[in-house]
Chains A and B, each alone.
Chain A
């Protein structure tokens, strides 16, 4: 009998306390493993690109040096890094929310253009008092992006339409409408290049270099706005009923349905919120980076948001960290192209390898099995 008796201190501990402790310990372990895996993934991707560059007979060492140390060498590069990370974080968050509800939204591209268009239209045409001059265009961008997100959201949630095709089609439509409006109606009079009139100075996002007295290129207070948005997304997912519904719908849709959660409505909201965030990314491009509208201003950024969301494991903190890492590589790629004979496209290869390694979920298992077999031999 005495052998089964537990010490007095342990007896007084509530089972809930013990569960909580075990849960936290497990979570700490998982986070540590995930972090290691992420760093390993990026390292492997960089290594593969390094080997590709080496194989094509270029100065791989110099290229790697430029890629990894270049962005920190001059303050304007740091500024470009932070500005790029702001856009990418917003895009990553916009993709991560539908991802958490197990929805694949590829609509960020159209939503970025819609957000840029809405914010620029307000910022070019409306006289507003100082602070509202920044906030109203941002609100317009979020609304436009959210409205655009609602279309595939409703189609998916109410009709069961394929959200991938729906978002791709909507992108194709919006990009063309944007192009039409820009070339035929918004082109600045007297300008030979296809671009809109600049936004009013009051509406441009204030540059960080005004506060820090060092040249920081286009980095602007959008950076802090983005951090606030990331915190809000964390709060939404972790601390609100809607966030709970999104997480349950994503992790166990059957449980969500039998538990009486309104799964279609949850899916719709995940698309709308994702769209609003992508719209904000568009506003950051229009009001912060370009100060107006330009053709092809989003480039391939929308798909890179997916990479960032994947790399950040759809977790708000992870997404911001991944965006910082990722845009560091993008800026480094540009430096590499300037300083060596290696094209910045090597960075695109790194990005692609990252996506493929992250999504190949069975890969770590296969590697582990292979190592075990070798050890047994």
Chain B
């Protein structure tokens, strides 16, 4: 047991937590923006995957990691905008369309990689490089914290910075006010002259860009190549973090950090003969319990004043 504690309390482990949590934090913040604007963005997974692929490919062919990062983020954003077009203009169910877009991203990325490189597995033969890691002279000198933060990838820093920025955007800006209004009551927002669809489109673009940054981190930060299907369901987990964090930026950040911690722990304990799969399942069990608890509390609160939330959404598809 002593060895477990040694590992868990080391600075290297805390540094690993930040690395593993980065994609969750970025994608979950993206999911939060879309959710608060009233469009559930289940296409986070697809945004991440297409960004990871586009980033590695562009970086590999152009030789510039920054060009790759920009193109990756743009690809993630584009997929979210496609969700916007389908849901807002073509009347598609947001969840089903999101699943369709995730399928599209999975198919298109591995098709493209195979067509360009003749390798179904990924882009490992294309030496695309990774985004640099960042050492800040002042922070590096802080005892304890400095060793954890120093040398983290640029995008990990971006993830840490993104949480206060998203909080500021949501609660302190005109755009954030409109975004929340649109998400809470679109009719009311429309009646005071807010352009509902425009606000939702912008929220989705930002959402996809954040998920794109998460994807770019996977293929150009954690490793320096793209592997088909490398997101492995992280987008769906990020979506759960949005709900576990009770739709608030810092709550979402902590939830994403929790998922990252459990995953980092599972990797570490795997070396120590503790079943890593079970450790990594803990946060999902916890999320299920939290989901039930939140719902129960909401239901109990609503029983006294208003009618409970409807149990049924829009019809999935009318059948003849």
A232 vs B176: C-alpha distance in the bound complex, in angstroms? Answer: 51
A155 closest partner in B (C-beta): B292
Given A34-B320, A180-B275, A264-B311, also A359-B291 (CB < 8 A): no
B271-296 to A contact mask, C-beta < 8 Å, 1/0 = 00001011011001101100110111
Residues of A within 8 A of B93 (CB): 359
Specify which of B92, B95, B320 is in contact with A313 (CB 8 Å cutoff): B320
In angstroms, how far is the closest chain A Cβ from the Cβ of B314? Answer: 7
The yes or no answer to A303 lying at the interface (CB within 8 A) is yes
Q: A264 CB to closest chain B CB, in angstroms?
A: 7
Given contacts A160-B299, A168-B239, A253-B312, contact A176 B106 (CB under 8 A): no
Q: What A residues does B112 contact at CB under 8 A?
A: 56
Contact with B along A156-167 (1 / 0, CB 8 A): 110111101110
A157 to B299, CA, bound (A): 11
Q: Is the CB of A349 within 8 A of B310?
A: no
Q: Contact size class for B? A: 35 or more
If the complex has contacts A159-B292, A184-B275, A355-B100, are A345 and B91 also in contact, measured as CB distance less than 8 A? Answer: no
Tell me if B312 and A31 are in contact (CB < 8 A). Answer: no
A116 at interface (Cβ–Cβ under 8 A)?
no
Residue B158 is within 8 A (CB to CB) of chain A in the complex: no
Given contacts A99-B316, A168-B236, contact A359 B288 (CB under 8 A): no
Main secondary structure of the interface of B (DSSP, over half): helix
Contact at B278–A346, with CB atoms within 8 Å? no
Given contacts A253-B310, A360-B97, contact A161 B104 (CB under 8 A): no
Given contacts A99-B316, A172-B284, contact A161 B291 (CB under 8 A): yes
Considering the chains assembled together, what is the distance between the CA atoms of A172 and B244 in angstroms? Answer: 15
Q: 1/0 contact trace for A295-325 toward B, CB 8 Å?
A: 0000010010011001001110010000000
**In the complex, what distance in Å separates the CA atom of A180 from the CA atom of B294?**
30
The reply to whether the CB of B120 lies closer than 8 angstroms to some CB of chain A is yes
Chain B CB within 8 A of A202 CB: no
* Distance, CA A187 to CA B50, complexed state (A): 35
- Complex Cα spacing A253 to B291, Å: 24
The answer on a CB contact under 8 Å between B311 and A156 is: yes
Picked from A314, A346, A352, the residue with its CB within 8 Å of the CB of B316 is A314
| CA–CA, A355 and B86, complex, Å | 11
Whole-angstrom distance between the alpha carbons of A343 and B119 in the complex? 10
Interface positions, chain B 34-75, Cβ under 8 Å from A, are: 40, 42
Binds B, one of A65-73, A101-109, A219-227, A276-284: A101-109
A194 to B47, CA, bound (A): 32
Flag if A355 contacts B103 (CB, 8 Å): yes
Instruction: Please classify the interface of chain A as helix (H, G, I), strand (E, B), loop, or mixed, using the class held by over half of its residues.
Output: helix
User: Hey, which chain B residues are within 8 Å of A111, CB to CB?
Assistant: none
User: A240 on the interface (CB 8 Å rule)?
Assistant: no
Measured CB to CB, the nearest residue on chain A to B309 is A160
Within 8 A of B (CB), among A141-176: 151, 155-157, 159-162, 164-166, 168-170, 172-173, 176
Complex CA gap A63/B316 in Å reads 34
- A346 to B97, Cβ gap below 8 A? no
Binary contact readout B83-108 vs A (1 if CB under 8 angstroms, 0 otherwise): 00010011111011101111110111
**Please, which residues of chain B bring their CB within 8 A of the CB of A306?**
96, 99
Whether, in the assembled complex, B313 has its beta carbon less than 8 Å from a beta carbon of chain A, the answer is: yes
Q: Could you tell me the distance in whole angstroms from the C-beta of A73 to the nearest C-beta in chain B?
A: 23
Contact pick for B313, options A34, A52, A102, A349, CB 8 Å = A102
Report A83-137 residues with CB < 8 Å from chain B CB: 99-104, 106
Q: Is the CB of A362 within 8 A of B90?
A: yes
* A355 CB, nearest partner CB in chain B, Å: 3
Contact of A356 with B104 in the complex, beta carbons under 8 Å? yes
Known A-B contacts A166-B288, A166-B291, A349-B107; A313 and B99 likewise in contact (beta carbons under 8 Å):
no
- Say if the beta carbon of A250 comes within 8 Å of chain B: yes
Query: If A157-B311, A168-B236, A176-B277 touch, does A343 touch B111 (CB 8 Å cutoff)?
Result: yes
Assuming the contacts A263-B311, A264-B311, A343-B114, asked whether A180 and B103 have C-beta atoms less than 8 A apart, the reply is no
Q: B9 in the interface, Cβ–Cβ < 8 Å?
A: no
Tell me whether B115 is interfacial, beta carbon within 8 Å. yes
B296: nearest chain-A partner, CB-CB: A159
Inter-chain CA distance A52–B104, complex, in Å, is 13
Contact (Cβ within 8 A) B90 A366 = yes
- Check if A253 sits within 8 Å of B311, measured CB to CB: yes
Interface centre among B89, B284, B299, by most A CB within 10 Å?
B284
- Report whether B284 and A58 are in contact in the complex, using a CB–CB cutoff of 8 Å: no
B118, chain A: closest CB distance, angstroms? 8
A250 and B280 contacting across the interface, CB-CB below 8 Å: no
B246 adjacent to chain A (CB < 8 Å) = no
Which A-B residue pairs are the 10 nearest by beta carbons?
A: A348-B107, A355-B100, A352-B104, A362-B91, A161-B295, A360-B90, A180-B277, A352-B103, A159-B295, A343-B114
Query: What are 21 A-B residue pairs whose CB atoms fall within 8 Å in the complex?
Result: A100-B319, A103-B312, A104-B316, A151-B288, A155-B291, A160-B311, A162-B291, A165-B239, A166-B291, A168-B236, A172-B237, A176-B281, A348-B103, A349-B104, A349-B107, A355-B100, A358-B317, A359-B97, A359-B317, A360-B90, A362-B90
Which of A's residues lie within 8 Å of B, judged by CB? 27, 30-31, 34, 52, 56, 58, 99-104, 106, 151, 155-157, 159-162, 164-166, 168-170, 172-173, 176-177, 179-180, 183-184, 249-251, 253, 263-264, 267, 300, 303, 306-307, 310, 313-315, 318, 343, 345-349, 351-353, 355-356, 358-363, 366
Chain B positions near chain A (C-beta within 8 angstroms): 40, 42, 86, 89-93, 95-97, 99-104, 106-108, 110-112, 114-115, 120, 233, 236-237, 239-240, 243, 275, 277-278, 280-281, 284-285, 287-288, 291-292, 294-296, 298-299, 308-320
